[in-house]
Structure 1
Amino acid sequence: MYQKKYEELKFTDDFMFCKILMGNKDICKEIIELLLGVKVKNIVYLEEQKPIEITSDGKGIRLDVYLEDGNTVYDLEMQTTISKDIAKRSRYYQGMIDLNLISRGAAYSELKESYIVFICLEDLFKKNRSLYIFRNICVEDRELILGDGATRVFVNASGSRDGLTAAQTAFLDYVAGKEPTDDLTTKLSEEVQRARDKEEWRNEYMTLLQRDREKYEEGKVEGRAEGKAEGKAEALIALVTDGLLDIDIAAKRLNKSPEELLEIINNNRK
């Protein structure tokens, strides 16, 4: 089982993505404004990889970078692999975020505007666009927007750069693996380099890595001894939970959908 060394991590790796955006408000703010064309006043982080577990059966979600700015909430997700289930996962995330806001005492009329943003390396919709922005509209009159305050955005780093600003192009090129070419991407590259020198983060990552290696090896032994897949599943679930393996990759290896694997993970948290 190949696992990246800490010094090999890039901005698009989940561990690094979360650490950098949760540790630098200015960069996080700049990325949100760049992708969404909104003005962010004051970022308030709610929790690193925030868990939302509010249903009666304990099922929930774990968000990468979740934050508030006044009457708006943002969830930023790094997605290095694509599956057909991502759109439905975004729907599930939206529902859970709304339930979380309501559970904190808000009336329906007080629900905050929300943006769920998946930053993808591949094109989910195969239309060669770099930005796909979805809001609820009327089928009979497409100029009529429902106005429920919910927006879901899928960023495609491999799409056409037509219509994008120079800054958006530079950011998506950087996400796609190219060298930094402007102020923001240079700052991101520098943050990655600085992160690689942080012993606390390195130790955290290595601890997670070692724990998951042990679980993976235990899983292989159990799988051979019992002729079952439980050990392998446990090891892969640990990797997903610690942000070291994308849920889509793990689900594929277990012949499950990401939603099925997410349900297993949340049941294990009970």
Structure 2
Amino acid sequence: MFGIIQVEGGEAVKRIKDWEELTIQDNFLFQKVMRNKRLCQHLIEKILQIKIADITYPDTEKTIDIRLDRKSVRLDVYVKDDTGRVFDIEMQCTDEKDNGLAKRTRYYQAMIDMDVLEKGDDYSMLNPAYIIFICTFDAFDRGLPMYTFRNRCVEQDGIELNDEATKIFLNSKGDSEALDPDVRAFLRYVDGKAAEGVFVQEVDKEVRRVKQHDETRREYMTLAMELKRQRQEGIAEGLAEGIAEGSANEKKKIIVTMLQKGLSVEFIADCVQTSAEYIIELGKKQHLL
């Protein structure tokens, strides 16, 4: 949510940005800017080439929890229009291995559908849903500024499943004159270029307004400090686990050495303070017993 990718020693690591460094690429700021209903609605209309009478925000950074034992979904910008259509917009700055990004849209779609459909409702009541990923990279390496996916028949072209589920990946590195001018300018802005055109200039103005808002700044700093605390605790926990794992490996080495010297299982168990069963199991694996 706050990360910026840097290269240190050849490895990618995440750093928590200072407030002054935030841009439209950062989830926190992107969410706040998209709380401007007029800008958010206009962006959706231009990306999908549709008209929307009005949009509502069910939640800020909506979290969907279907069951306590299932992974929850936290969505960046989740809105509905007056007809019930659902729109999820995500800012994505990191590509994922093993087709992870595409699989994430599949999971998001499933969770959104389960959240939308009330208990006892018929499947026909599922509303059209659009998942839009704004990527700072080319997710499919084909050079397109926008990739739109719907479920289609493999055996015959032209047959759509018509399940009204659409996934869109925007590529800030791509460009095409066929793209809507506002979307084209927005992608350049996401890529770090100057704000061009009335719409993107208004987006940039909203970015600057949000960054001048003291309460929002304090909110970010509080979240950033909490994230740092969690990371520090995670590092400490990982270090403790590493020490414990190292101790366990050293104990194994000692047991193997003592078995090789022909010492009895009972004597070894007493020396290293472990069970005889564990020593026997280890000895069999090492072909010493």
What interval of TM-score do these two structures reach, taking the shorter chain for normalisation?
Answer: 0.7 to 0.9
Q: Secondary structure at the residue paired with 1:48?
A: coil
The answer to whether the aligner puts 1:30 opposite 2:45 as a matched pair is: no
What is the identity percentage for the equivalent residue pairs of Structure 1 and Structure 2? Answer: 42
What is the alpha-carbon root mean square deviation over aligned residues? 1.8
Instruction: Please report how far the alpha carbon of residue 217 of structure 1 lies from its aligned counterpart in structure 2 after TM superposition.
Output: 2.6
Post-superposition CA distance 1:169-203 (Å, at most 9, x none): 21111111100011111111111111111111100
Find the counterpart in structure 1 of residue 60 from structure 2. 48
How far apart in 1 are the matches of 2:151 and 2:232? 46
* Residue ranges of structure 1 left out of the alignment (5+ in a row): 230-270
Instruction: Please report how far the alpha carbon of residue 35 of structure 1 lies from its aligned counterpart in structure 2 after TM superposition.
Output: 0.9
> In structure 2, do the counterparts of structure 1 residues 74 and 222 end up closer, same or farther at CA, with 3 Å as the change threshold?
same
Instruction: Please report how far the alpha carbon of residue 226 of structure 1 lies from its aligned counterpart in structure 2 after TM superposition.
Output: 4.1
Does 116-125 or 104-113 show the bigger shift?
104-113
**8 Å Cα contact 2:135/2:169 also seen in 1:** yes
Task: Say which of 76, 79, 82 aligns to 2:95.
Answer: 82
How far apart in 2 are the matches of 1:228 and 1:45? 47
Instruction: Please report how far the alpha carbon of residue 221 of structure 1 lies from its aligned counterpart in structure 2 after TM superposition.
Output: 3.4
Kindly provide the amino acid, as one letter, of the partner of residue 128 in structure 1: G
Q: Secondary structure at the residue paired with 1:17?
A: helix
The one of the two structures with greater contact order (alpha-carbon pairs below 8 A, sep at least 6) is 1
**8 Å Cα contact 1:222/1:228 also seen in 2:** no
Kindly provide the amino acid, as one letter, of the partner of residue 99 in structure 1: M
Q: Secondary structure at the residue paired with 1:119?
A: strand
How far apart in 1 are the matches of 2:186 and 2:215? 28
**8 Å Cα contact 1:131/1:154 also seen in 2:** yes
* Residue ranges of structure 2 left out of the alignment (5+ in a row): 1-13, 245-289
Instruction: Please report how far the alpha carbon of residue 56 of structure 1 lies from its aligned counterpart in structure 2 after TM superposition.
Output: 5.9
How far apart in 1 are the matches of 2:90 and 2:67? 22
> In structure 2, do the counterparts of structure 1 residues 40 and 228 end up closer, same or farther at CA, with 3 Å as the change threshold?
farther
How far apart in 1 are the matches of 2:153 and 2:134? 27
Task: Say which of 110, 125, 131 aligns to 1:95.
Answer: 110
How far apart in 2 are the matches of 1:26 and 1:115? 18
Q: Secondary structure at the residue paired with 2:117?
A: helix
How far apart in 2 are the matches of 1:161 and 1:104? 44
Return the TM-score normalized by structure 2: 0.75
Task: Say which of 144, 147, 151 aligns to 1:129.
Answer: 144
The answer to whether the aligner puts 1:166 opposite 2:178 as a matched pair is: no
How far apart in 1 are the matches of 2:205 and 2:219? 20
Aligned residues: 228
> In structure 2, do the counterparts of structure 1 residues 104 and 14 end up closer, same or farther at CA, with 3 Å as the change threshold?
farther
The answer to whether the aligner puts 1:106 opposite 2:121 as a matched pair is: yes
